[in-house]
């Protein structure tokens, strides 16, 4: 970019110099002509006034021409050798207009002959002539100055150009160096949308990288705990330090930790598949009402043990393009949470409704609710309100993150309403 600006500016500079030189030459030449003819006119005035045609003026040739064009007197050339002058342009013009001018080539290349003719009262013509500079000689005589001026101007131009190019590109370079700078003060107006977009993308990339790093750290941490438990219990048993009862208890703990590891790995796999975009582009239509009913039936047996009643209300048919796996995953995670974070004698109502052509899946519970300050964050990976409770109940902290991901993929809006100690309503609305 700098190179381009540099060369463009230099071209403009050069062009300016050339144009200036040409214009100045034309102007000066016009002035010179004017001056020469004005001098000649003064001399002609003088000659006519004094009627002294034979007056000798240095460098000036005076010719006296009769009204028929015959040359009567010439201060420089022998009259006998001169042809009729009636057709000379300045004489023709003087006969017509009173005075006439013309410029003709001289023997010397660098000079021209300037003729000025004046008609007198008796019809004869007085012509005065002078040899003076022409355009070529003017240009040649000023050439050294022009060259010096051009060189000086080009040097100034070069420095100015370099400075200007640096000034123009500085905000862009600054931006490239430090993408996080939020002040847009010294950024060009025209570039602002572009800059905003780049910054946005940059921030998105950064936050994606951060999220991934955080996720990896969390995964490692989450996997470590059950693994440490398993190896701890196994070590105790290996050392023969456990009684029969202990062995039973330890085995139970090992099985629990293994189950936990399994569900963690399953959830992590699901999320990373979705992250990597390993999802079918065209998902098949699924009756979400049927899926909701089946999931309620499946989970209500376990819920009964915890004195939680799960029921389904709503329509029988509501087809959405979601794919069987996603539909089951979504229904399972939301209903399981509603049971898991419920209270004894609590209630879970699952519903699927069609409103204005839009399908809404809602899970409502009378459970422990989610305090306001946690509501924004519970869709984050591994975020739990009460870590130990979630772990104790077999939660991985990934269920809602998976639900959110499915909503994004299937273009659904997810809404959460919750009050601590009263209960939670989560509804998913497909935009159709
Ligand atoms: P988990 O496996 O821990 O349940 P989720 O991602 O499914 O992970 O949920 C994140 C957290 O949100 C839970 O740990 C819990 O604290 C809270 N939560 C989710 N659903 C509900 C609900 N229906 N009632 C109360 N709290 C809930």
Least confident of 42-51, 65-74, 132-141: 132-141
Is the per-residue pLDDT at 135 higher than 60? yes
Is the per-residue pLDDT at 186 higher than 70? no
Q: What is the pLDDT of residue 254?
A: 95
Measured distance CA(125)–CA(64) in Å, rounded: 6
Look at ligand 1, atom 21, and give the residue with the nearest C-alpha. 337
Nearest-atom index, ligand 1, CA of 386? 16
What is the 384 CA–ligand 1 centroid distance (Å)?
6
Residue of higher predicted confidence among 280 and 193: 193
Measured distance CA(18)–CA(24) in Å, rounded: 10
Confidence of residue 31 (pLDDT cuts 50, 70, 90): very high
Q: What is the pLDDT of residue 183?
A: 58
What is the 295 CA–ligand 1 centroid distance (Å)?
18
pLDDT in tens, 85-102: 989 999 999 999 999 999
Residue 73's alpha-carbon distances to 40, 43, 52, 66, 76, in angstroms, are 18, 16, 11, 9, 9
What is the 370 CA–ligand 1 centroid distance (Å)?
8
* Pairing mode of beta strands 347-355, 309-314: parallel
pLDDT in tens, 329-340: 999 999 999 999
Which of 333, 337, 398 has the most ligand 1 atoms within 8 A of CB, as the residue to mutate?
Answer: 337
Residue 108's alpha-carbon distances to 35, 61, 131, 133, in angstroms, are 21, 16, 10, 10
Residue of higher predicted confidence among 348 and 112: 348
Averaged pLDDT for residues 208-235: 92
Residue 266's alpha-carbon distances to 219, 273, 397, 402, in angstroms, are 12, 11, 12, 11
Residue 363's alpha-carbon distances to 234, 385, 424, in angstroms, are 41, 19, 8
Nearest-atom index, ligand 1, CA of 363? 23
Residue 74: both structure tokens together: 């010439």
Measured distance CA(234)–CA(212) in Å, rounded: 33
pLDDT in tens, 381-392: 999 999 888 888
What is the 337 CA–ligand 1 centroid distance (Å)?
6
Q: Residues lining ligand 1, CB < 6 A? A: 333, 337-338, 341, 365, 367-370, 378, 383-386, 390, 395-401, 424
Averaged pLDDT for residues 35-52: 92
């Amino acid at each position: 970019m700098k190179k381009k600006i540099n060369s463009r500016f230099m071209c403009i500079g050069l062009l300016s110099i050339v144009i200036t030189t040409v214009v100045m030459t034309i102007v000066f030449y016009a002035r010179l002509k004017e001056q020469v003819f004005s001098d000649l006119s003064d001399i002609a005035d003088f000659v006519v006034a004094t009627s002294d045609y034979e007056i000798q003026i240095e460098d000036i040739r005076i010719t006296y021409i009769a009204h028929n064009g015959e040359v009567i007197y010439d201060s420089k050339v022998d009259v006998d050798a001169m042809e009729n002058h009636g057709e000379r342009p300045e004489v023709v013009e003087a006969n017509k207009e009173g005075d006439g001018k013309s410029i003709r080539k001289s023997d010397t290349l660098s000079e021209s002959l300037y003729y000025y003719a004046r008609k007198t009262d008796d019809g004869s013509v007085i012509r005065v002539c002078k040899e003076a500079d022409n355009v070529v000689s003017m240009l040649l005589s000023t050439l050294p100055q022009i060259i010096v001026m051009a060189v000086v101007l080009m040097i100034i131009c070069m420095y100015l150009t370099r400075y200007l190019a640096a000034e123009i590109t500085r905000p862009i370079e600054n931006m490239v160096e430090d993408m996080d700078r939020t002040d847009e003060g010294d950024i060009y107006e025209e570039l602002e949308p572009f800059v905003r977009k780049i910054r946005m993308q940059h921030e998105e990339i950064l936050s994606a990288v951060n999220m991934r790093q955080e996720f990896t750290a969390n995964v490692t941490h989450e996997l470590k705990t059950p693994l440490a438990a398993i190896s701890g219990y196994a070590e105790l048993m290996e050392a023969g330090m456990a009684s029969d009862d202990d062995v039973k208890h330890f085995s139970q703990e090992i099985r629990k930790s293994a189950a936990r590891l399994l569900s963690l790995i399953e959830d992590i796999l699901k999320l990373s598949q979705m992250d990597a975009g390993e999802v079918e582009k065209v998902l098949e239509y699924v009756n979400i009402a049927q899926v909701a009913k089946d999931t309620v039936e499946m989970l209500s047996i376990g819920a009964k043990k915890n004195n939680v009643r799960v029921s389904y209300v709503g329509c029988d048919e509501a087809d959405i393009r979601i794919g069987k796996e996603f539909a089951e995953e979504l229904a399972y995670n939301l209903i399981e949470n509603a049971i898991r974070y419920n209270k004894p004698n609590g209630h879970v109502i699952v519903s699927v409704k069609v409103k204005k052509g839009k399908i809404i899946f809602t899970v409502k519970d009378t459970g422990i609710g989610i305090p306001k300050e946690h509501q924004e964050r519970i869709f984050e990976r591994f975020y739990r309100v009460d870590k130990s409770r979630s772990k104790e109940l077999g939660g991985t902290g990934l269920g809602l993150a998976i639900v959110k991901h499915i909503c994004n993929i299937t273009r659904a809006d997810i809404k959460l309403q919750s009050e601590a100690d009263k209960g939670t309503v989560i509804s998913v609305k497909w935009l159709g």
